[in-house]
Structure formats: structure tokens, C-alpha cells
Structure 1
Amino acid sequence: MKIEMICTGEEVLSGQIIDTNAAWAANALMNQGIEMQQRITVGDRLDDLIAVFQERSHHADIILVNGGLGPTSDDMSSEAMALAKGEPLVECTPWRLRLEEWFTRNGRVMPVSNLKQAMLPESAVMVDNPVGTACGFRVKLNQAWLFFTPGVPFEFKRMVNEQFIPFVQSQTNEHVEVSVRKLLTLGYGESSLADKLTQIDLPEGVTVGYRSFMPYIEIKLFARGEEAIGSLANIVALVKTLLGNVIVAEERSSLAQVVHERLLEGAQSLSVAESCTGGLITSGLVAFPGSSAYLHHGLVTYSNESKVAVLDVNPQTLDDHGAVSIATVEEMAEGARTLIGSDYGLATSGIAGPDGGSDQKPVGTVAIGLATSKGVYSQMLKFPARSRELVRQLSSAVAYDMLRRALNDEPVIVDYASYARFAK
């Protein structure tokens, strides 16, 4: 069964907004063992919408259409679908009554424009939207069912989970089960990872994919069919053996998530002192609910004066070694940890660029320190200086990884092939 997706909207096509719905939907389907074959983005132009509905309906079995169900003039999905089928728009009375009840319940007068959302192609089957005013629907055109959903993410996700996925599962008994395992890596390039993994003789039905999203590269192991899925655990074990320390997480999208979960599980506390990362480490943790249970404070001690006044860094250390140094970052980490007695103190100080580097410490040079009750661990690395943001992201990722390893009682300092380490 071929499943495709059509994403609509000028703001999506032009890049004014990032199409998070499409990525979420593909992942939600994959989690159910359902693979999407193709995705197309089209703007809010009636002729283009009609053409893409007609063209893809000859190739796909089910098409998830997202967007264009609002009350304004640029919401054209219903009209375009009716024209593609050569049939009129008709009022869906149950949905008009739902709209009127919704506005009355919320003490509002329904604008006339909202009545447009109750107008569906004549042959459409209404699909419930339990949390919004845009009526979903599905229509059969040529060989495909086109399944229409609103673009509002909250509404879209509810409808995919509660309406679309069950519909897909009901349409065939011939569906090939798909399973995927995801391994997050740090410190190796995509080509280097691929070279190592060519040593594995993959069984039929198992394939390897790569997704680069800095600072990580994610390895995806796909298994299609019952026999291939049965072999997946052994393949994952082989990959982990080959790559060793390169793998920093499984089935997680970031090291921040891993650290967050580990700190919660262990009921341990953390304080962070950041210079070049400028709050990025702290922000990554605060993004997860419950971080207040372990995060004591995140300090952006950017100037030398603040390092001395807030973290008790010795002025002589700064004079002798500079702000970007092992000695300074160790004192920063310990100062952050001891301020209110945290279990761990994490600190960064570096040259993110584009200016400020020297022959001895070029742009991309970053010192990272981790203070624990057992001692202080530190390293100074040279990251690729392609952009200021990349240096900050890589610095944060390595800092998280050092903390993750300490939490797991693993060696804190390991080699990252892509990042050169300075001698202490």
C-alpha cells in the first residue's frame, strides 16, 4: 500500500514557517510500522491544488492532505478537491450545527466566514475534528483515498492519531510491517560512520539510513517484514559493538533529553556555568518539564569579572591561562557546583567566533569542565568553525555527553574523531 502526503500553504512552500506537521506525521506513522513513500508541498493556488490531487491519486492508495481547511479565502482544499472530482460543494449539516454549538458554548457570535468550513465535496465522508472548527473529510479519487486534515498542529496530531492511522490500518490486510531503531551519534562524520557499518552483512529486509542534524548524526536501522524485524536486535548489537563510544543515545532525539531523564531518575542536582554557550546548555534542559527537580541554576558568566565575582575563579588563573583554558573552566565548574552544593557542576568557555581566535587558540576552541564529588574532569577541544552557532551546539553536546557518562559511571573523557583535543 502506497501512502503519500500533500502539504499545502504558501507560508510552508516559501519557507516562512517550518513544516513540523510533515515530519511529525511521518514519524507517527513509522512508530506504527507504516511507511510513507512520498511527500509534496504545494502553495495556495487553486489550479496547482487540483492538479496535484488528480496526479497523485493515480499513484497512491492513501494521501494525507494537510492544511487549507480554514475560513479564509486562501483556504482552498475543499474547493480544489470538489473541482478535481467534478462535483459541487455541499453543506455538511452536522458540522454546521457543531460550529454553531461551539461558538454559542464559548459565548461568541459565529462569523459568516466560518460557514465555509461546513462546505465539503458532495461525495466526502466527514472526519471528526474533536478540538477545532475545521472539518476533516476523506474522498475517493481514482485509486486513492485523500484524507484532509487542518494545518493547526494540535488539531492535526489529534486527527492523525485518532482518525487517520486507524483508517490506514483498516484499509489493508497486506500491509508489510516496518520497524525502525534509532541510534544517536556524536563526533563522527556521516561518511566515517558509513565506512564502519559496511562491515555488517545486513540480512534481507534490513537497511541503514542516516540523518544529519547538527550536532548529531542519527543512524536509522529499518526492518521490513517479520523475519527482518526478528533480526533487528542482533543488528543493533553489532552496530553498537562497531561504533562503541560514538553512540550516545538510543531512541532519543538529543543528549539533553538523556541527561534530563538520568538526573530525574537518580535524584541528583546540577548547576551550570556557561560562557561561550550563553545559556544553551541550560535552555536545552529547561525545555523538558520537571527540570526544576534537579536544575539548581544556570549562570551565563560571560565576562572575566563575572567569573571571578560569581564563580570565585581566581584572577591569577585568568591572568596566567586566559578565560579559554582548562584551568579556568575547572574553577568555573567547581564554583558553580559549590555555590549551593549541587551534585554536578558543568561549565564551558570558548571562542565561538567569527572573531577572537589566535594561532594558539583558533576560533572553535572550547574548554569544558565537569565538577563532581569525585573530582573535576575537563578537556579543551577544537570544533569545526563553520559558524558561531555550530560551535555553541557542539560545545553543548559534548558537555551533555560528559555529564551523561559521569551519571552512567563511564569514562568521562573519550575521543571524538572529528574534534581535536588540546593537550593539558
Structure 2
Amino acid sequence: MKLEMICTGEEVLSGQIVDTNAAWFANTMMEMGVEVQHRVTVGDRLEDLVHVFQERSKYADVILVNGGLGPTSDDLSSEAMAKALSEPLIENVEWREHMEAWFSKRSHPMTQSNLKQAFLPQSAVMVDNPVGTACGFRVKLNRAWLFFTPGVPFELKQMVQEQFIPFIRQEFSLKDKTALTKLLTIGHGESLLADKLETIDLPDGLTMGYRSSMPHIEIKLFARGQHAIDKLPSITEQVRSRLGQALVAENRASIAEEIHARLNGSGLSLSIAESCTGGMIASQLISFPGSSSYLHQGLVTYSNESKVKVLGVPAQVLDDHGAVSIETVAQMAKGARELLDSDYALATSGVAGPEGGTEQKPVGTVAIALATRDGVKSQIVQLPRRSRDLVRSLSSAIALDMLRRELLGEEVVVDYASFSRSA
């Protein structure tokens, strides 16, 4: 099966918004063992839409079309598809009645423009949208089924899971068993990881891929067919062994998700004091439901005054060593932990850039500390020639990795291949 995607919208084409829908869809299909082989982004122009529908339908077996199903004048997907098919738009009475009930239930008036969403190409098969007012539909043109979905992310995701995937499974007999293992790393570049892993002899049906999403690089082991699935555990163990301390999680999207899984329901507690990371560590953990069971507090103590008055860092420590120092960050972590008697506390203080560095502490210098009931462990990492956002995200990942290692009873401060440190 040859799968393609057409993304619509001027705001996507011009870069005003990032097309997260396309990334999510491609990743979701890849985890099923189906690769998106071609993707096109087209603006809100009728003739351009007609052309791309007609052209790509000659090459693909199925095309997911995302966007352009709303009530406004620049939502042109249905009209363009009807024109590509040389057939009229016909009101779908079932969907009009659905919309009337939808608006009535919410005590909202249904505007005249909303009626547009009930008009589909004459040969279209309606696809239910259980969470919105824009129905999807599918049509056959040339060799391809074109499957239309709204651009609203949560509507797209639900329709793909509930409507699109069952459709292609049935239409294209996707019967091969598949299995996927994802291994998450930090602190090692993609080329270095490839050098470690490329000599592993992969059996037929098992492939290895890399996905860089800083601060992580993810290794995906995909097995298709029972023979490859049977071999997956042994290959995974070989990869684990070669990755060593670069490996920070399995089948997790981030190290924050790994920390959340280990702390949630554990009875342990965590406080966080952040300077250069500016709340990023706390924000990553709070994105998971249940984080209130372990996260006592997240403090952004950006100024020296807040470090002294909120965390109890001695002013003399700041005077003698500066804000970006092992001595200061250790006091920050100690103070954060003691405020609510948390089991653990993390602290960061650094020069994220692009300005503010000195010869002694250049941009990318970050001090990180972990406080426990038994003491404090600290380090300074050097992250030169990286953007402000990347310095912050790498620092957050290293801090969380220190906590992960502590929870596992491992050495907390370790060397990473991609940057230097001092402890």
C-alpha cells in the first residue's frame, strides 16, 4: 500500500503554524508498519487543490487529506474534490441533522455558514467526526482513496484512530503482525550512536531507525512478521548493551515521562528550583496527569535576590562563587528540598545565552544539582555553540537523568559523549 498525505492551509504553507498534524500522523502510521511515502502542502486556492488531488491520486493507493473542511470561505477541500471528480456538491442530510442536534445541545445558534459543512461530493462516503462539526469523507479518484479529515488536531487524531486505521486495515488487508521497541538516549550524537549499532546483524523483517528530537535521539526497532518479532528481544538486548549509559528510557517519548512513571504513585516527593531552565523541568512533569502525587513545587528563582530570600542561599556563596557555580546550585537544591521536606530536589543555574557569558563561564555553562536526604550531588556541564532553547532543554534532560540514576541506585554524575562536564 502506497500511503500519501496532503496538508492544506495558507497558515501551514507560509510557516505561520507548525504542522504538528503531519508529524503525528506519519509517526502513528510508522508504528503500524506503514510508511508515508509522499507529502504535499498546498494553500487555500481552489485550482491548486484540484490539481494536487488529481495528480497524486494517480500514484497513491490512499491519501489522507488534512484541513479545509471548516465553515469559512477559505475552507475549500470539499468543493475542490467535487471539481476534481467533475461532480456536484450534495447536501448530506444525515450530517446536517447531526450538526443541528450538536448546536442545539450546546444552546448555540447554528449559523448559515455551518451548513456548508454538510455539503459533500456526490460520490463521497461520509466519515463521522464524533468531536466536531466538520464531517470527514472519502472518495475514490483514479487509483487512490482520498480520506478527508479536519485540521483541528484532536479531531484528526480521533478520526484517524477510529475511522482511518480500521478502513485501511480492511481495504488493504494489513494482516502482518508487527512489533516496535523504542529506546531513548541523551548526550550522544546520531553518528556516534550509529557507529555503536550499525554492526549489529539484523534478521529479515527487522529494521533499525533513528529519530532526532533534541534533547533526545530515539532508536526504533521495528519487527514485521512473527520471525522478526521472535528475534526482537535478543536484538533489543544487544542494542541496550551497546548504548550503555546513553540509554535513559524504553518506550517513552521523553525522559520526563520516564521520571513521571517512576515517581507517580511511589510515595516519593520532588521539589524543583530553576534559574536558567525557567520552569521547563516542572512544566515537562506537569504535562502528565497524576504529577501532583509527587511534585511538591516548582520554583523559578531567576534573580540572586530570590535565591537568597526564597531558597536560603547564603549571600556570601553568591558573592564568592557567582550564580552559576556548583556551590550556589547545591545550596539551591538543598533549600528547595528543605522547604517542604521533599525526598528529592533538582536545581539549575546557568548561562543560556546568547549573551551573558564570560571567559570563565561562557555561554552554555550550566550548573545542576540533585539534593536527597543524604546530601547533594552537583556538576557543571558545558553546552557551547547551542541555541538558548537547546541549552535549556539539554540542561533539563541532564537534571532529570541525574534523578533517574539516583532512583535506580546508579552513579548520578556521569560523562556524556556530546559535551564536557566538571563535578
Letter of the 1:128 partner, please give it. D
Structure 2 CA distance for partners of 1:112 and 1:343, relative to 1, 3 Å: same
Q: For the Cα contact (< 8 Å) 1:352–1:385, is it kept in 2?
A: no
Partner residue in 1 for 2:417: 417
Partner residue in 1 for 2:391: 391
Mapped to 1, the partners of 2:334 and 2:358 lie a distance apart of 27
User: Runs of 4 or more off by more than 6 Å in structure 1?
Assistant: none
Partner residue in 1 for 2:358: 358
Mapped to 1, the partners of 2:173 and 2:275 lie a distance apart of 57
Q: Does 1:213 align with 2:213?
A: yes
Partner residue in 2 for 1:287: 287
User: What do the CA deviations read for 1:52-75 (whole angstroms, capped 9, x no partner)?
Assistant: 111111221111111111111111
Q: For the Cα contact (< 8 Å) 1:50–1:80, is it kept in 2?
A: yes
Partner residue in 2 for 1:203: 203
Partner residue in 2 for 1:53: 53
Structure 2 CA distance for partners of 1:399 and 1:220, relative to 1, 3 Å: same
User: Secondary structure at the residue paired with 1:360?
Assistant: coil
Equivalent residues in 2 for 1:214-253 (5 A)? Answer: 214-253=214-253
User: Secondary structure at the residue paired with 1:413?
Assistant: coil
Q: For the Cα contact (< 8 Å) 1:385–1:391, is it kept in 2?
A: no
User: Secondary structure at the residue paired with 2:411?
Assistant: coil
Report percent identity of matched pairs: 67
User: What do the CA deviations read for 1:27-48 (whole angstroms, capped 9, x no partner)?
Assistant: 3333444333222211111111
Structure 2 CA distance for partners of 1:96 and 1:304, relative to 1, 3 Å: closer
TM-fit CA distance, 1:50: 1.1
Q: For the Cα contact (< 8 Å) 2:337–2:343, is it kept in 1?
A: yes
Deviates more, 1:136-145 or 1:26-35: 26-35
Q: For the Cα contact (< 8 Å) 1:34–1:177, is it kept in 2?
A: no
User: How many aligned positions are there?
Assistant: 423
Residue segments in structure 2 that go unaligned for 5+ positions in a row = none
Q: Does 1:190 align with 2:202?
A: no
Q: Does 1:325 align with 2:325?
A: yes
User: What do the CA deviations read for 1:162-182 (whole angstroms, capped 9, x no partner)?
Assistant: 111111111133654443321
Letter of the 1:290 partner, please give it. G
Q: For the Cα contact (< 8 Å) 2:265–2:293, is it kept in 1?
A: no
Mapped to 1, the partners of 2:326 and 2:71 lie a distance apart of 59
Letter of the 2:206 partner, please give it. V
TM-fit CA distance, 1:275: 1.4
User: Secondary structure at the residue paired with 1:266?
Assistant: coil
Q: Does 1:373 align with 2:373?
A: yes
Structure 2 CA distance for partners of 1:307 and 1:172, relative to 1, 3 Å: same
Mapped to 2, the partners of 1:158 and 1:191 lie a distance apart of 36
TM-fit CA distance, 1:145: 0.9
User: Secondary structure at the residue paired with 1:311?
Assistant: coil
User: What do the CA deviations read for 1:136-167 (whole angstroms, capped 9, x no partner)?
Assistant: 11111111111111111222222111111111
Mapped to 2, the partners of 1:416 and 1:222 lie a distance apart of 27
Q: For the Cα contact (< 8 Å) 1:8–1:65, is it kept in 2?
A: yes
Equivalent residues in 2 for 1:72-221 (5 A)? Answer: 72-173=72-173, 175-221=175-221
Letter of the 1:92 partner, please give it. N
Structure 2 CA distance for partners of 1:359 and 1:158, relative to 1, 3 Å: same
Deviates more, 1:188-197 or 1:34-43: 34-43
Q: For the Cα contact (< 8 Å) 1:4–1:36, is it kept in 2?
A: yes
Mapped to 2, the partners of 1:112 and 1:274 lie a distance apart of 51
Mapped to 2, the partners of 1:304 and 1:150 lie a distance apart of 49
Deviates more, 1:175-184 or 1:368-377: 175-184
Q: For the Cα contact (< 8 Å) 1:272–1:346, is it kept in 2?
A: yes
**TM-score after normalising by structure 1:** 0.95
Q: What is the CA RMSD across the aligned residues, in angstroms?
A: 1.7
**TM-score after normalising by structure 2:** 0.95
User: What do the CA deviations read for 1:58-96 (whole angstroms, capped 9, x no partner)?
Assistant: 221111111111111111111111111111111112112
Mapped to 1, the partners of 2:329 and 2:109 lie a distance apart of 61
Q: For the Cα contact (< 8 Å) 2:168–2:174, is it kept in 1?
A: no
Mapped to 2, the partners of 1:326 and 1:66 lie a distance apart of 50
Structure 2 CA distance for partners of 1:313 and 1:108, relative to 1, 3 Å: closer
Q: For the Cα contact (< 8 Å) 1:30–1:179, is it kept in 2?
A: no
